[in-house]
Copies of this chain bind each other. A is one copy, B any other.
Protein backbone atom coordinates (compact mmCIF):
# COMPACT_ATOMS: atom_id res chain seq x y z
CA UNK A 1 0.00 0.00 0.00
CA UNK A 2 1.17 3.43 -0.93
CA UNK A 3 1.51 6.31 1.51
CA UNK A 4 -0.84 9.11 0.57
CA UNK A 5 -0.67 11.15 3.69
CA UNK A 6 0.98 14.34 2.58
CA UNK A 7 -2.16 15.96 1.18
CA UNK A 8 -4.25 14.71 4.05
CA UNK A 9 -2.52 16.09 7.12
CA UNK A 10 -4.43 18.24 9.60
CA UNK A 11 -3.50 19.48 13.03
CA UNK A 12 -4.80 18.09 16.30
CA UNK A 13 -3.85 18.58 19.94
CA UNK A 14 -2.99 14.90 20.35
CA UNK A 15 0.54 13.78 21.19
CA UNK A 16 2.42 10.81 19.74
CA UNK A 17 5.29 9.16 21.63
CA UNK A 18 7.45 6.66 19.72
CA UNK A 19 9.64 4.50 21.95
CA UNK A 20 12.30 2.72 19.91
CA UNK A 21 14.02 -0.12 21.72
CA UNK A 22 16.88 -0.52 19.26
CA UNK A 23 17.21 -4.05 17.90
CA UNK A 24 14.14 -5.14 19.92
CA UNK A 25 13.13 -8.11 17.76
CA UNK A 26 14.71 -11.37 18.85
CA UNK A 27 14.81 -15.12 18.51
CA UNK A 28 14.41 -17.94 21.03
CA UNK A 29 17.54 -19.73 22.18
CA UNK A 30 15.94 -23.06 21.27
CA UNK A 31 13.13 -23.85 18.82
CA UNK A 32 9.82 -23.18 20.51
CA UNK A 33 11.40 -21.17 23.30
CA UNK A 34 10.84 -17.57 24.16
CA UNK A 35 12.47 -14.58 22.54
CA UNK A 36 14.27 -12.01 24.70
CA UNK A 37 11.14 -9.83 24.75
CA UNK A 38 8.96 -12.80 25.64
CA UNK A 39 11.33 -14.04 28.33
CA UNK A 40 11.44 -10.64 30.01
CA UNK A 41 9.10 -9.80 32.86
CA UNK A 42 7.26 -6.77 31.47
CA UNK A 43 4.15 -5.99 33.50
CA UNK A 44 3.92 -2.43 32.18
CA UNK A 45 4.32 -3.27 28.51
CA UNK A 46 1.90 -6.17 28.96
CA UNK A 47 -0.74 -3.91 30.43
CA UNK A 48 -0.33 -1.56 27.49
CA UNK A 49 -0.52 -4.54 25.10
CA UNK A 50 -3.71 -5.62 26.80
CA UNK A 51 -5.29 -2.20 26.33
CA UNK A 52 -3.71 -1.65 22.94
CA UNK A 53 -2.96 -3.73 19.90
CA UNK A 54 0.08 -5.44 18.39
CA UNK A 55 1.60 -5.80 14.95
CA UNK A 56 4.76 -6.75 13.10
CA UNK A 57 6.87 -4.36 11.06
CA UNK A 58 9.13 -5.22 8.16
CA UNK A 59 11.81 -2.52 8.14
CA UNK A 60 12.91 -2.66 4.50
CA UNK A 61 11.77 -5.67 2.52
CA UNK A 62 11.59 -9.46 2.56
CA UNK A 63 14.81 -10.93 3.91
CA UNK A 64 16.57 -7.59 4.09
CA UNK A 65 18.57 -6.86 7.22
CA UNK A 66 18.52 -3.12 7.84
CA UNK A 67 21.16 -0.79 9.07
CA UNK A 68 20.02 1.63 11.73
CA UNK A 69 19.83 4.54 9.28
CA UNK A 70 17.25 3.17 6.85
CA UNK A 71 15.32 1.47 9.66
CA UNK A 72 14.90 4.73 11.56
CA UNK A 73 13.85 6.57 8.41
CA UNK A 74 11.17 3.90 7.94
CA UNK A 75 10.03 4.44 11.55
CA UNK A 76 9.76 8.15 10.80
CA UNK A 77 7.52 7.43 7.79
CA UNK A 78 10.09 7.78 5.01
CA UNK A 79 10.62 5.22 2.26
CA UNK A 80 13.94 3.71 3.31
CA UNK A 81 14.80 2.50 -0.18
CA UNK A 82 14.10 5.77 -1.99
CA UNK A 83 15.94 7.69 0.74
CA UNK A 84 19.00 5.54 1.22
CA UNK A 85 21.14 7.07 3.95
CA UNK A 86 24.80 6.29 3.40
CA UNK A 87 27.15 5.50 6.28
CA UNK A 88 29.21 8.57 5.53
CA UNK A 89 26.20 10.84 5.81
CA UNK A 90 25.20 9.14 9.06
CA UNK A 91 28.66 9.73 10.49
CA UNK A 92 28.56 13.39 9.51
CA UNK A 93 25.13 13.78 11.08
CA UNK A 94 26.24 12.06 14.27
CA UNK A 95 29.26 14.35 14.59
CA UNK A 96 27.34 17.54 13.86
CA UNK A 97 29.57 18.02 10.84
CA UNK A 98 27.68 20.28 8.49
CA UNK A 99 27.92 18.82 5.00
CA UNK A 100 27.79 21.27 2.11
CA UNK A 101 26.24 20.53 -1.26
CA UNK A 102 28.84 18.64 -3.30
CA UNK A 103 30.70 17.24 -0.27
CA UNK A 104 31.41 13.52 -0.25
CA UNK A 105 31.35 11.85 3.16
CA UNK A 106 32.65 8.40 4.05
CA UNK A 107 32.93 6.37 7.21
CA UNK A 108 36.55 5.48 7.91
CA UNK A 109 38.07 2.76 10.07
CA UNK A 110 41.66 2.63 11.15
CA UNK A 111 42.87 -0.89 10.36
CA UNK A 112 46.01 -2.97 10.84
CA UNK A 113 47.97 -3.99 7.75
CA UNK A 114 50.76 -6.56 7.68
CA UNK A 115 54.01 -6.16 5.78
CA UNK A 116 52.50 -7.34 2.51
CA UNK A 117 49.67 -4.85 2.90
CA UNK A 118 46.95 -7.34 3.85
CA UNK A 119 44.37 -6.37 6.46
CA UNK A 120 44.94 -8.31 9.71
CA UNK A 121 42.42 -6.35 11.84
CA UNK A 122 39.63 -4.26 10.29
CA UNK A 123 39.34 -2.21 13.50
CA UNK A 124 43.02 -1.80 14.40
CA UNK A 125 42.45 -3.54 17.76
CA UNK A 126 39.71 -0.98 18.50
CA UNK A 127 42.43 1.62 19.01
CA UNK A 128 41.30 3.96 21.82
CA UNK A 129 39.96 7.38 21.03
CA UNK A 130 42.92 9.24 22.63
CA UNK A 131 45.28 7.62 20.17
CA UNK A 132 43.04 7.76 17.13
CA UNK A 133 42.39 11.43 17.81
CA UNK A 134 46.12 12.14 17.63
CA UNK A 135 46.42 10.13 14.43
CA UNK A 136 43.55 12.00 12.82
CA UNK A 137 45.20 15.30 13.75
CA UNK A 138 48.41 14.09 12.13
CA UNK A 139 46.57 13.07 8.97
CA UNK A 140 44.64 16.35 8.92
CA UNK A 141 47.90 18.33 9.13
CA UNK A 142 50.06 16.31 6.76
CA UNK A 143 47.77 14.84 4.15
CA UNK A 144 47.28 17.04 1.10
CA UNK A 145 45.04 16.36 -1.93
CA UNK A 146 45.80 19.63 -3.74
CA UNK A 147 42.67 21.58 -4.58
CA UNK A 148 40.43 19.06 -2.79
CA UNK A 149 39.89 19.84 0.89
CA UNK A 150 40.12 16.95 3.33
CA UNK A 151 38.11 17.09 6.57
CA UNK A 152 38.64 14.41 9.23
CA UNK A 153 36.85 13.85 12.54
CA UNK A 154 37.08 11.03 15.06
CA UNK A 155 33.78 9.34 15.95
CA UNK A 156 34.99 6.93 18.61
CA UNK A 157 37.84 4.41 18.90
CA UNK A 158 38.88 3.34 15.41
CA UNK A 159 35.97 5.06 13.63
CA UNK A 160 36.30 8.37 11.82
CA UNK A 161 34.57 10.57 9.29
CA UNK A 162 36.21 11.61 6.03
CA UNK A 163 34.77 14.47 4.04
CA UNK A 164 36.16 15.49 0.65
CA UNK A 165 35.22 18.98 -0.47
CA UNK A 166 35.79 20.41 -3.92
CA UNK A 167 34.40 20.73 -7.43
CA UNK A 168 32.93 17.82 -9.38
CA UNK A 169 33.13 15.07 -6.77
CA UNK A 170 30.86 12.02 -6.93
CA UNK A 171 29.62 9.54 -4.33
CA UNK A 172 29.10 6.75 -6.87
CA UNK A 173 31.92 4.75 -5.33
CA UNK A 174 32.33 1.28 -3.90
CA UNK A 175 33.78 0.75 -0.44
CA UNK A 176 37.51 0.21 0.01
CA UNK A 177 36.76 -1.91 3.10
CA UNK A 178 37.05 -5.55 1.93
CA UNK A 179 34.95 -6.70 4.94
CA UNK A 180 37.39 -9.60 5.48
CA UNK A 181 40.99 -9.94 6.66
CA UNK A 182 43.91 -11.50 4.82
CA UNK A 183 43.45 -9.35 1.74
CA UNK A 184 44.56 -5.78 1.00
CA UNK A 185 42.14 -2.85 1.16
CA UNK A 186 40.23 -2.59 -2.11
CA UNK A 187 41.03 -0.02 -4.75
CA UNK A 188 38.13 2.42 -4.87
CA UNK A 189 35.85 1.41 -7.76
CA UNK A 190 33.81 4.14 -9.45
CA UNK A 191 30.21 3.11 -10.23
CA UNK A 192 30.10 5.35 -13.28
CA UNK A 193 32.44 7.36 -15.49
CA UNK A 194 31.81 10.65 -13.70
CA UNK A 195 33.07 9.12 -10.46
CA UNK A 196 36.44 8.01 -11.86
CA UNK A 197 38.30 11.13 -10.71
CA UNK A 198 36.84 10.92 -7.19
CA UNK A 199 37.82 7.23 -7.01
CA UNK A 200 41.42 8.19 -7.87
CA UNK A 201 41.34 10.88 -5.17
CA UNK A 202 40.07 8.33 -2.62
CA UNK A 203 42.91 5.97 -3.51
CA UNK A 204 45.36 8.86 -3.25
CA UNK A 205 43.96 9.59 0.21
CA UNK A 206 44.34 5.97 1.30
CA UNK A 207 47.90 5.72 -0.03
CA UNK A 208 49.03 8.96 1.58
CA UNK A 209 47.35 8.03 4.87
CA UNK A 210 49.21 4.72 4.86
CA UNK A 211 52.54 6.49 4.34
CA UNK A 212 51.84 8.96 7.15
CA UNK A 213 50.77 6.11 9.48
CA UNK A 214 53.65 3.84 8.49
CA UNK A 215 55.28 4.02 11.94
CA UNK A 216 52.12 2.86 13.73
CA UNK A 217 51.85 -0.75 14.83
CA UNK A 218 48.08 -1.07 15.07
CA UNK A 219 46.47 1.78 13.16
CA UNK A 220 48.64 1.78 10.06
CA UNK A 221 45.95 1.82 7.39
CA UNK A 222 42.46 3.10 6.61
CA UNK A 223 39.31 1.47 5.24
CA UNK A 224 36.49 3.58 3.80
CA UNK A 225 32.84 2.79 3.24
CA UNK A 226 29.44 4.32 2.66
CA UNK A 227 30.39 7.19 0.35
CA UNK A 228 27.47 9.56 0.37
CA UNK A 229 26.24 13.12 -0.01
CA UNK A 230 23.93 15.38 1.89
CA UNK A 231 20.38 14.05 1.54
CA UNK A 232 17.75 16.77 1.11
CA UNK A 233 14.85 15.20 3.01
CA UNK A 234 11.65 17.11 3.67
CA UNK A 235 11.17 17.42 7.43
CA UNK A 236 8.48 15.68 9.42
CA UNK A 237 6.89 19.09 9.83
CA UNK A 238 6.80 19.54 6.05
CA UNK A 239 5.44 16.07 5.43
CA UNK A 240 3.22 15.33 8.38
CA UNK A 241 2.74 18.66 10.11
CA UNK A 242 4.52 17.26 13.17
CA UNK A 243 6.61 19.43 15.45
CA UNK A 244 8.94 16.64 16.46
CA UNK A 245 11.61 16.10 19.07
CA UNK A 246 14.17 13.41 19.80
CA UNK A 247 15.43 12.02 23.07
CA UNK A 248 18.49 10.16 21.85
CA UNK A 249 22.00 9.95 23.29
CA UNK A 250 24.00 8.33 20.54
CA UNK A 251 25.33 10.64 17.84
CA UNK A 252 23.95 8.61 14.93
CA UNK A 253 20.38 8.66 16.21
CA UNK A 254 20.63 12.34 16.99
CA UNK A 255 21.91 12.82 13.46
CA UNK A 256 19.05 10.82 11.97
CA UNK A 257 16.58 12.84 14.01
CA UNK A 258 18.05 16.10 12.78
CA UNK A 259 17.96 14.81 9.20
CA UNK A 260 14.14 14.74 9.39
CA UNK A 261 13.93 18.06 11.22
CA UNK A 262 13.56 16.95 14.83
CA UNK A 263 14.79 19.07 17.70
CA UNK A 264 17.14 17.25 20.04
CA UNK A 265 15.85 17.58 23.60
CA UNK A 266 17.85 14.86 25.33
CA UNK A 267 19.05 15.33 28.85
CA UNK A 268 22.01 13.77 30.63
CA UNK A 269 21.05 11.27 33.27
CA UNK A 270 19.22 8.01 33.71
CA UNK A 271 16.19 6.80 31.80
CA UNK A 272 13.75 8.16 34.36
CA UNK A 273 15.22 11.65 34.07
CA UNK A 274 15.08 11.37 30.32
CA UNK A 275 11.45 10.25 30.41
CA UNK A 276 10.73 13.32 32.54
CA UNK A 277 11.59 15.53 29.60
CA UNK A 278 8.54 14.12 27.80
CA UNK A 279 6.27 15.61 30.44
CA UNK A 280 8.16 18.90 30.63
CA UNK A 281 8.12 19.47 26.88
CA UNK A 282 4.71 17.94 26.18
CA UNK A 283 3.19 21.20 24.96
CA UNK A 284 6.07 22.08 22.64
CA UNK A 285 5.82 19.14 20.25
CA UNK A 286 3.38 16.78 18.54
CA UNK A 287 5.74 13.83 18.15
CA UNK A 288 8.44 12.52 20.50
CA UNK A 289 11.08 9.97 19.53
CA UNK A 290 12.52 8.22 22.61
CA UNK A 291 15.53 6.07 21.75
CA UNK A 292 16.74 3.18 23.94
CA UNK A 293 20.02 1.62 22.80
CA UNK A 294 20.64 -1.15 25.30
CA UNK A 295 18.45 -3.80 23.63
CA UNK A 296 20.59 -3.58 20.52
CA UNK A 297 23.94 -3.39 22.29
CA UNK A 298 23.21 -6.50 24.37
CA UNK A 299 21.86 -8.29 21.31
CA UNK A 300 25.01 -7.45 19.37
CA UNK A 301 27.03 -8.82 22.28
CA UNK A 302 25.15 -12.09 21.90
CA UNK A 303 24.06 -11.85 25.52
CA UNK A 304 20.51 -13.19 25.74
CA UNK A 305 20.16 -12.62 29.47
CA UNK A 306 21.51 -9.08 29.25
CA UNK A 307 19.04 -8.29 26.48
CA UNK A 308 16.22 -9.67 28.63
CA UNK A 309 17.39 -7.35 31.41
CA UNK A 310 17.54 -4.43 29.01
CA UNK A 311 13.92 -5.07 28.04
CA UNK A 312 13.00 -5.17 31.73
CA UNK A 313 14.86 -1.89 32.29
CA UNK A 314 12.76 -0.29 29.56
CA UNK A 315 9.60 -1.80 31.01
CA UNK A 316 10.44 -0.22 34.33
CA UNK A 317 10.55 3.25 32.82
CA UNK A 318 7.25 2.88 30.94
CA UNK A 319 5.22 4.42 33.82
CA UNK A 320 7.48 7.48 33.62
CA UNK A 321 6.92 7.67 29.89
CA UNK A 322 3.16 7.26 30.34
CA UNK A 323 3.23 10.03 32.95
CA UNK A 324 3.64 12.42 29.99
CA UNK A 325 0.12 11.37 28.95
CA UNK A 326 0.69 10.48 25.33
CA UNK A 327 -2.50 10.19 23.32
CA UNK A 328 -0.86 7.65 21.04
CA UNK A 329 2.04 5.46 22.15
CA UNK A 330 4.16 3.30 19.88
CA UNK A 331 6.72 0.85 21.27
CA UNK A 332 8.82 -1.00 18.74
CA UNK A 333 12.36 -1.50 17.47
CA UNK A 334 14.16 -0.31 14.39
CA UNK A 335 15.13 -3.88 13.50
CA UNK A 336 15.76 -7.23 15.15
CA UNK A 337 19.06 -8.01 16.87
CA UNK A 338 18.61 -11.57 18.13
CA UNK A 339 21.18 -12.38 20.80
CA UNK A 340 21.59 -15.84 19.27
CA UNK A 341 22.80 -14.14 16.09
CA UNK A 342 24.73 -11.33 17.81
CA UNK A 343 23.96 -9.05 14.87
CA UNK A 344 21.12 -7.23 13.12
CA UNK A 345 18.67 -9.51 11.33
CA UNK A 346 15.84 -9.35 8.82
CA UNK A 347 13.13 -10.68 11.15
CA UNK A 348 10.09 -8.44 11.53
CA UNK A 349 9.91 -6.25 14.60
CA UNK A 350 7.06 -6.36 17.12
CA UNK A 351 4.99 -3.20 17.50
CA UNK A 352 2.74 -2.14 20.35
CA UNK A 353 0.20 0.59 19.59
CA UNK A 354 -1.74 2.08 22.46
CA UNK A 355 -4.08 5.05 22.46
CA UNK A 356 -7.25 6.68 21.25
CA UNK A 357 -9.46 4.61 19.02
CA UNK A 358 -7.22 1.55 19.01
CA UNK A 359 -9.07 -1.58 17.96
CA UNK A 360 -7.83 -4.00 20.61
CA UNK A 361 -6.88 -7.57 19.85
CA UNK A 362 -6.88 -10.69 22.00
CA UNK A 363 -3.27 -10.30 23.19
CA UNK A 364 -2.29 -9.65 26.80
CA UNK A 365 1.49 -9.72 26.37
CA UNK A 366 3.97 -7.87 24.22
CA UNK A 367 6.00 -10.32 22.20
CA UNK A 368 6.81 -11.59 18.73
CA UNK A 369 4.47 -14.62 18.88
CA UNK A 370 1.58 -12.58 20.24
CA UNK A 371 2.19 -10.02 17.50
CA UNK A 372 1.42 -12.70 14.90
CA UNK A 373 -2.23 -12.38 15.87
CA UNK A 374 -1.98 -8.66 16.52
CA UNK A 375 -4.70 -6.31 15.39
CA UNK A 376 -2.35 -4.39 13.13
CA UNK A 377 -1.21 -7.40 11.16
CA UNK A 378 2.16 -7.27 9.46
CA UNK A 379 3.18 -4.32 7.39
CA UNK A 380 6.10 -2.35 6.01
CA UNK A 381 7.65 -0.28 8.80
CA UNK A 382 7.09 2.98 6.89
CA UNK A 383 3.33 2.44 7.22
CA UNK A 384 3.41 2.72 11.00
CA UNK A 385 3.61 6.50 11.11
CA UNK A 386 0.44 7.15 9.04
CA UNK A 387 -1.41 4.76 11.34
CA UNK A 388 -0.15 6.69 14.35
CA UNK A 389 -1.22 9.94 12.67
CA UNK A 390 -4.70 8.50 12.11
CA UNK A 391 -5.07 7.53 15.77
CA UNK A 392 -3.91 11.01 16.74
CA UNK A 393 -6.59 12.61 14.55
CA UNK A 394 -4.03 14.11 12.19
CA UNK A 395 -5.30 12.71 8.86
CA UNK A 396 -8.40 13.75 6.96
CA UNK A 397 -10.75 11.57 4.97
CA UNK A 398 -9.75 10.49 1.47
CA UNK A 399 -12.50 11.19 -1.04
CA UNK A 400 -16.14 11.85 -0.38
CB contact list, A1-58 vs B, under 8 A: 1-5, 8, 27-28, 31-33, 35, 50-52, 56, 58
- Inter-chain CA distance A70–B400, complex, in Å, is 7
Closest chain B residue to A10, Cβ basis = B179
Interface residues of A (CB under 8 A from B): 1-5, 8, 27-28, 31-33, 35, 50-52, 56, 58, 60-71, 80-81, 84-87, 90, 107, 226, 338, 340-341, 344-348, 357-362, 368-369, 372-375, 377-380, 383-391, 395-400
Contact A61-B390, Cβ < 8 Å, known A377-B372, A377-B378, A400-B69:
no
- Residues of the B chain whose Cβ atoms lie less than 8 Å from the Cβ of A375: 368-369, 372
The list of the 3 closest CB pairs from A to B, nearest first, reads A63-B386, A63-B390, A67-B399
Minimum CB–CB distance for A346 against chain B, Å: 4
| Number of copies of this protein chain within its complex | 2
Q: Is B61 within 8 A of A400, CB to CB?
A: no
* Interchain CB contact under 8 A, A360 and B31: yes
* Contact of A8 with B341 at beta-carbon distance under 8 Å, contacts A1-B380, A50-B31 already known: no
Return the contact of A64 from the options B4, B63, B374 (Cβ within 8 A): B4
- CA A269 – CA B373 in complex, angstroms? 42
Q: Assuming the A-B contacts A90-B400, A399-B85, A400-B107, are A64 and B360 also in contact, with contact meaning beta carbons closer than 8 angstroms in the complex?
A: no
List 15 A-B residue pairs with CB atoms under 8 Å apart, sorted by A's residue number.
Answer: A2-B81, A3-B61, A31-B50, A60-B399, A61-B383, A61-B398, A62-B379, A63-B395, A64-B386, A80-B398, A359-B368, A362-B369, A372-B377, A373-B373, A377-B377
Chain B contacts of A373 at CB under 8 A? Answer: 372-373
- Which partner residue on chain B sits nearest A370 by CB separation? B362
Given A67-B400, A70-B398; A387-B56 close (CB under 8 Å): no
**If the complex has contacts A357-B338, A398-B66, A399-B69, are A56 and B368 also in contact, measured as CB distance less than 8 A?**
no
B395 with A346: CB separation less than 8 A: yes
Query: In the bound complex, what is the Cα–Cα distance between A4 and B226 (angstroms)?
Result: 18
Is the pair A377, B56 in contact by a Cβ cutoff of 8 Å? yes
CB pair A386–B66 under 8 Å, yes or no, is no
- Could you say which of B28, B346, B378, B390 contacts A346, with CB atoms under 8 Å apart? B390
A380 to B58, CA, bound (A): 14
CA distance A357 to B85 in the complex (A): 27
Shortest CB-to-CB span from A152 to chain B, Å, is 19
Best-buried of A1, A8, A362 by chain B (most CB within 10 Å): A1
Distance in angstroms from A186 CB to nearest chain B CB is 16
Complex: how many Å from CA A369 to CA B51? 14
Q: Which residues of B contact A61 (CB under 8 A)?
A: 1-4, 383, 386, 398
* B383 and A62 within 8 A (CB): yes
Specify which of B65, B359, B369 is in contact with A395 (CB 8 Å cutoff): B65
Among A28, A348, A391, A398, chain B packs the most CB atoms within 10 A around the CB of A398
